[in-house]
Structure 1
Amino acid sequence: MSSLLFLCPTITFLFFILLPPTSSLNSVSGPTKHRHEVIIAHHGAVATDDRRCSRIGMKVLREGGHAIDASVAAALCLGVVSPASSGIGGGAFMLLRLASGKAQAFDMRETAPLQASENMYAANATLKKEGALSIAVPGEIAGLHKAWKQHGRLPWKRLVRPAERLAHLGFKISPYLHMQMVKTKSEILQEKGLRGIFTSNGSLLQLGDICHNKKLAQTLRTISKFGPVAFYNGSIGFNLVSDVQKVGGILTMKDLQRYRVKLKEPISANILGLKILGMPPPSGGPPVILMLNILAQYAIPSGVSGSLGIHREIEALKHVFALKMNLGDPDYVDVSKVISDMLSPKFAKELKKTIYDNMTFDAGHYGGRWNQIHDHGTSHISIIDRERNAISMTSTVNSYFGSRILSPSTGILLNNEMDDFSIPMNVSAALPPPAPSNFIKPGKRPLSSMAPTIVLKNEQLKAVVGASGGGMIIAGTAEILLNHFARGMDPFSSVMAPRVYHQLIPNVVYYENWTTVSGDHFEVPADIRAALQKKGHVLESLAGGTICQFIVQDVRTSTSENGGAGTLVAVSDPRKGGLPAGF
């Protein structure tokens, strides 16, 4: 059992790790009852970054709503109460697997404005990260409405109303949002729109204070009546474009009118006796599958346990990030060969041959030709409804508070998604050049690490998982799946286990060492760190990481009470303070 001890963040959780390795629900139903971050449900469950949004989604399911209905209500809620991470001024990837077996991928990723160009930041690369020129065309409202039109059961107005009420009546500032506000204090104080929402008498609102966004409430009310046309070809859009152009942006009504949601086939791979469904590019779905494919080449569970297992994880991640930068928007670059390789067990077996158990290497060993982009914050939703339709959806505005611009006439906080593109620039001899496949083109979608994932076993729904946390999402999502399906840990312990991250450049292992807003301390133990350092890894502690939402179905527990469906265990990651809801 010592091989699993590194996964225990504090003595509080030692009991779960010392249980016999099993994926059975019995291992969580007793000892984790006192933790509100894990629930057991029979009919439906929603796991989000915020308890209020989980409950809003759950109420939709109780009323007979489809998982899509719940995703609309929960996502719009998150855009109000967690505006630093998501919202209708950003975009998302949604993976849907219907109870019938059909699966769909909704790409509502932001796009580059029509006036954008490859060299638009040549004079000042910082304009790519923040401000009016960092704003890409938002896609979330278009995507949510398209999914609802196909599968929704409850009225659109009913789904938008909870978010509208929160924006109008106000909501308490959560510990995590307050932390994000403090880290972005100077930008909030400088920008008129943000200042009007998040300050009072010249000072930041405090933890627990009531925050209002009445302009956003009006916007949501209009969207509830008229749908996305008001946003993409109506009064909201006209006001939004006017606000952006006043501060030097290039967003136009033509950009909004031309925006299209891409409905795609999910990618899939058979790994560890499971069928893994993921988002196609430009998402992080293929890299997650590559990482799992590499690690599945080892003996399970022994080959992925203990310090050696962590070393192998890190080495696999380095290969993953070396290849990731060959991806891009498939409407603009041919990525078919890269995808084929990433989904191939044979290709993974060849990469495994270059992983040495006694040492690590410089970045060049892993064959990476291009410099990395470092994408930022996000929010994730996992949902399973009564019929076992399942949704995994990750949304984003990119950095904390996106572009740091809030449209004063609409209340919409705008993304800085242009920062996820690579740009031509002079680089030092120590760094590889930027990736041409991710260069800016008008209408193009930037590369992302977001990786909503659905797991099947024998074509039956087994799990829904995803993570927020920018470039660390790939590692976080894969580690949850490895913890549960390879190491045999229960769902709660799979989420609680401290994580390690690597993005090839810089050649540094980041390991969790922080006390979160929930009061839990996460830290990879000293003996594991020492073993990694002995192999040549450079380690750096990280007071942050991915935030995961995980729902597992155990079909062995089906009863007449839930119509023959399995029991659901839903876990919201305490690192952000979120809680699941179910019935």
Structure 2
Amino acid sequence: MAVSLRVLPSIAIILLLFQPISAAAYTGEPRREVITSEHGAVATDDGRCSDAGRDVLVDGGNAVDAAVAAALCLGVVSPASSGIGGGAFMVVRMADGTAQAFDMRETAPLRASKNMYAGNAAAKASGALSVAVPGEVAGLHEAWRRHGRLPWRRLAMPAAKLAGEGFRISPYLYMQMEKTEAGILADRGLRDRFTSNGTLLQPGDVCRNRRLAKTLKAIARHGPNALYNGSVGVELVRDVQRAGGILTMEDLRRYQVKVKKPLSTDIMGLNILGMPPPSSGGAGMALVLNILVQYGIPSGVSGPLGLHRFIESLKHMFAVRMNLGDPDFVDVSKVLSDMLSPKFAEELKKTIYDNMTFDPSYYGGKWNVLSDHGTSHLCIVDSSRNAVSMTSTVNSYFGAQILSHSTGILLNNEMDDFSIPGNVSANVPPPAPPNFISPLKRPLSSMTPTIVLKDGKLKAVVGASGGGFIIAATTQVFLNYFAKNMDPFSSVMSPRSYHQLIPNVVKYENWTTVTGDHFELPSDLRVALQKKGHVLEPLAGGTISQFVVHNLEQSKSVKGGSSTHGDLTAVSDPRKGGFPAGY
């Protein structure tokens, strides 16, 4: 979205605050969106939350502590994308080699059912019936309980203070508000906090959410029980039910964080740790990479032909991924094994032609593709080289477009990520039964929090926000750095392309961001793709990536041990206006 300073004069205030630099500058002049730090680094969607995480590291906290503070901060200043009314996936890799995947994904309420939206499909996308049981607070607390150093209260209070004292609306949040204006004006809770005299707050205006501040203070004092078995939960449930929802206190009490073993894949001499189902990100990224490495690195994945191969690999991946679902409800072992298998990738590669593309039916997908929505991502590495990659979400912009008036919590619309039975047309595959609604089930997700190791040592932390495009974005940043030898910042800045199989369209970046950078896939690449039969469509938006690289090549021995530490390079994607922080 291009922003005119003539139309929005107040945006100049916040732009000056963020000190943006033109897109051309990334080839030479220093940018605030990339930093090098010796000890620790935090990369988030918003510089204020990167600072919050960095301050925790300076105070002696580790990467998990910093993730708690940064994630809670993002829920305050970036409420259209994340918050304690939603859920998340977190991959943690500690310096001693311990690696865990925390599934804090939202769950379907106990009163939910496969056919609950029959004749009322709109209720699945927004409103009280679209609300699933939130998991972020429970998940953050469980990760902290296992790995944290600092007191929980120390980590939660900064977000409470920010919500109560107020924060300035960023240009990106304002863009999200504009796109959701009708929903904001229609809901009392959102209207009270994001409008003034009937119009939206402007960039640079101060937004306060004192009810959320009170809620976060209760969570700081009493932990997740305040929400899942306390007064905050009672008020939240009352607000949802008054709006016509089915959430109950029993749903909150029964919520469970699932702590799992990360998916582990060895590709290109690297060990890639990713999120297992119900996230499809770890397996999806592994499948795409296993196909592409067969072409040779870097030549086989570079230039117009490399982009064509990448798109074809994405189409195959999306055809397979819709067979995944919540492993507590669906046996996904065979599908998961295939997606991680180099031999399976070899068979798919044989069906890719360098001179043409095909209709969706060619790729063998049995089910219609369902796209999830907006998210927020953070990457953190501390002085011991513990690492966290975390993607959080409330799903669509401002989730269900309901803000609980009593608690200040913005509610998710995660039920929209489930597939539902429906009429099937001749040209569209049927909805995917593995992702049908059941009570306590978790919907399929594209979130792709990723940690990369080399020779047993931390090499990088990466991930992205942006719904169904997340897998493609994370894979492209990975390829840019590890296969094409771009520097970390250029790896993030490089224009991205996406394909989701259905519709059979390549979506490519062509937009000017709120901070003035312009991203556009070069014309020679577009022409080359069109000659191979691809249908192209420009996209004014896309994904937001965070990236932290551990520069092992410049490493030095750590006192008292044989491990080595290098400097950290952290990048926050300029597309959203965020900045990293380190020390």
Give yes or no for TM over 0.5. yes
Q: Confirm whether residue 365 of structure 1 aligns to residue 377 of structure 2.
A: no
Which residue in the other structure is 1:570 paired with? 570
Out of 158, 183, 187, which is 1:187 matched to? Answer: 183
Cα distance in 2 for partners of 1:403, 1:519 equals 30
Cα distance in 2 for partners of 1:555, 1:306 equals 28
Cα distance in 2 for partners of 1:125, 1:562 equals 60
Cα distance in 2 for partners of 1:208, 1:405 equals 23
Which secondary structure does the structure 2 equivalent of 1:207 belong to? coil
Which residue in the other structure is 2:101 paired with? 105
Which residue in the other structure is 2:10 paired with? none
Query: 1:42, 1:562 within 8 Å by CA — same for their partners in 2?
Result: no
Q: Confirm whether residue 557 of structure 1 aligns to residue 569 of structure 2.
A: no
Query: Which has the larger displacement, 388-397 or 280-289?
Result: 280-289
Cα distance in 2 for partners of 1:181, 1:260 equals 32
Displacement of 1:527 in angstroms is 1.1
Which residue in the other structure is 2:333 paired with? 336
Q: Confirm whether residue 421 of structure 1 aligns to residue 418 of structure 2.
A: yes
Query: 1:421, 1:438 within 8 Å by CA — same for their partners in 2?
Result: yes
Q: Confirm whether residue 350 of structure 1 aligns to residue 347 of structure 2.
A: yes
Q: 1:35 to 1:14 in 2, by over 3 A?
A: closer
Which secondary structure does the structure 1 equivalent of 2:211 belong to? helix
Which residue in the other structure is 1:27 paired with? none
Q: Confirm whether residue 118 of structure 1 aligns to residue 118 of structure 2.
A: no
* 1:439-470, Cα deviation, whole Å (9 max, x unpaired): 00000000000010000011110000000000
Q: Confirm whether residue 151 of structure 1 aligns to residue 163 of structure 2.
A: no
Which residue in the other structure is 1:12 paired with? 24
Out of 521, 527, 540, which is 2:518 matched to? Answer: 521
Which residue in the other structure is 2:536 paired with? 539
Which residue in the other structure is 1:222 paired with? 218
* 1:106-135, Cα deviation, whole Å (9 max, x unpaired): 000000000000000012111100000000
Which residue in the other structure is 1:132 paired with? 128
Which secondary structure does the structure 2 equivalent of 1:311 belong to? helix
Cα distance in 1 for partners of 2:100, 2:125 equals 32
Displacement of 1:97 in angstroms is 0.3
Out of 170, 175, 178, which is 2:171 matched to? Answer: 175
Which residue in the other structure is 2:76 paired with? 80
Which residue in the other structure is 2:444 paired with? 447
Q: Which runs of 5+ in 2 are unaligned?
A: 1-21
Displacement of 1:558 in angstroms is 2.2
Cα distance in 2 for partners of 1:490, 1:382 equals 17
Q: 1:567 to 1:436 in 2, by over 3 A?
A: same
Q: 1:251 to 1:565 in 2, by over 3 A?
A: same
Out of 62, 72, 75, which is 1:66 matched to? Answer: 62
Query: 1:85, 1:400 within 8 Å by CA — same for their partners in 2?
Result: yes
Out of 362, 370, 380, which is 1:383 matched to? Answer: 380
Query: Which has the larger displacement, 282-291 or 239-248?
Result: 282-291
Which secondary structure does the structure 1 equivalent of 2:295 belong to? coil
Cα distance in 1 for partners of 2:422, 2:559 equals 58
Cα distance in 2 for partners of 1:467, 1:176 equals 16
* 1:395-437, Cα deviation, whole Å (9 max, x unpaired): 0000000000000000000000000000000021110000000
Query: 2:25, 2:31 within 8 Å by CA — same for their partners in 1?
Result: no
Q: Confirm whether residue 260 of structure 1 aligns to residue 256 of structure 2.
A: yes
Amino acid at match of 1:224: A
Cα distance in 1 for partners of 2:89, 2:232 equals 23
Which secondary structure does the structure 2 equivalent of 1:104 belong to? strand
Displacement of 1:243 in angstroms is 0.3
Cα distance in 2 for partners of 1:509, 1:555 equals 36
Which residue in the other structure is 2:242 paired with? 246
Cα distance in 2 for partners of 1:14, 1:42 equals 22
Which residue in the other structure is 1:5 paired with? none
Cα distance in 1 for partners of 2:216, 2:374 equals 23
Displacement of 1:556 in angstroms is 2.1
Cα distance in 1 for partners of 2:398, 2:434 equals 27
* 1:39-59, Cα deviation, whole Å (9 max, x unpaired): 000000000000000000001
Which residue in the other structure is 2:87 paired with? 91
* 1:482-527, Cα deviation, whole Å (9 max, x unpaired): 0000111110000000000000000000000000112110000111
Q: Confirm whether residue 309 of structure 1 aligns to residue 303 of structure 2.
A: no
Out of 492, 495, 505, which is 2:492 matched to? Answer: 495
Cα distance in 2 for partners of 1:269, 1:93 equals 18
Which residue in the other structure is 2:389 paired with? 392
* 1:283-325, Cα deviation, whole Å (9 max, x unpaired): 1211111111111111111100110000000000000100010
Q: 1:410 to 1:294 in 2, by over 3 A?
A: same
Amino acid at match of 2:352: I
Count of aligned pairs: 558
Which residue in the other structure is 1:285 paired with? 282
Cα distance in 1 for partners of 2:294, 2:337 equals 18
Cα distance in 2 for partners of 1:60, 1:565 equals 20
Q: 1:11 to 1:210 in 2, by over 3 A?
A: closer
Amino acid at match of 1:578: G
Q: 1:11 to 1:450 in 2, by over 3 A?
A: closer
Displacement of 1:559 in angstroms is 3.7
Which residue in the other structure is 1:4 paired with? none
Amino acid at match of 2:178: V
Cα distance in 2 for partners of 1:155, 1:478 equals 36
Which secondary structure does the structure 1 equivalent of 2:565 belong to? coil
Displacement of 1:374 in angstroms is 1.3
Q: 1:37 to 1:562 in 2, by over 3 A?
A: farther
Task: Compute the TM-score of the two structures, normalised by the length of structure 2.
Answer: 0.95
Report 1:317-332 matches (<5 A): 317-332=314-329
Displacement of 1:541 in angstroms is 0.1
Which residue in the other structure is 1:39 paired with? 35
Cα distance in 1 for partners of 2:522, 2:337 equals 37
Q: Confirm whether residue 434 of structure 1 aligns to residue 431 of structure 2.
A: yes
Amino acid at match of 1:580: P
Which secondary structure does the structure 2 equivalent of 1:150 belong to? helix
Over the aligned positions, Cα root-mean-square deviation in angstroms equals: 1.2
Which residue in the other structure is 1:24 paired with? none
Q: Which runs of 5+ in 1 are unaligned?
A: 1-9, 16-30
Task: Compute the TM-score of the two structures, normalised by the length of structure 1.
Answer: 0.95
Out of 390, 406, 415, which is 1:409 matched to? Answer: 406
Query: 2:23, 2:518 within 8 Å by CA — same for their partners in 1?
Result: no
Query: 1:47, 1:551 within 8 Å by CA — same for their partners in 2?
Result: yes
Query: 2:103, 2:257 within 8 Å by CA — same for their partners in 1?
Result: yes
Query: 1:43, 1:562 within 8 Å by CA — same for their partners in 2?
Result: no
Query: 2:449, 2:462 within 8 Å by CA — same for their partners in 1?
Result: yes
Cα distance in 2 for partners of 1:12, 1:222 equals 46
Cα distance in 1 for partners of 2:233, 2:498 equals 39
Q: Confirm whether residue 297 of structure 1 aligns to residue 324 of structure 2.
A: no
Cα distance in 2 for partners of 1:303, 1:107 equals 35
Cα distance in 1 for partners of 2:482, 2:549 equals 11
Cα distance in 2 for partners of 1:433, 1:47 equals 39
Amino acid at match of 2:294: Q
Q: Confirm whether residue 457 of structure 1 aligns to residue 454 of structure 2.
A: yes
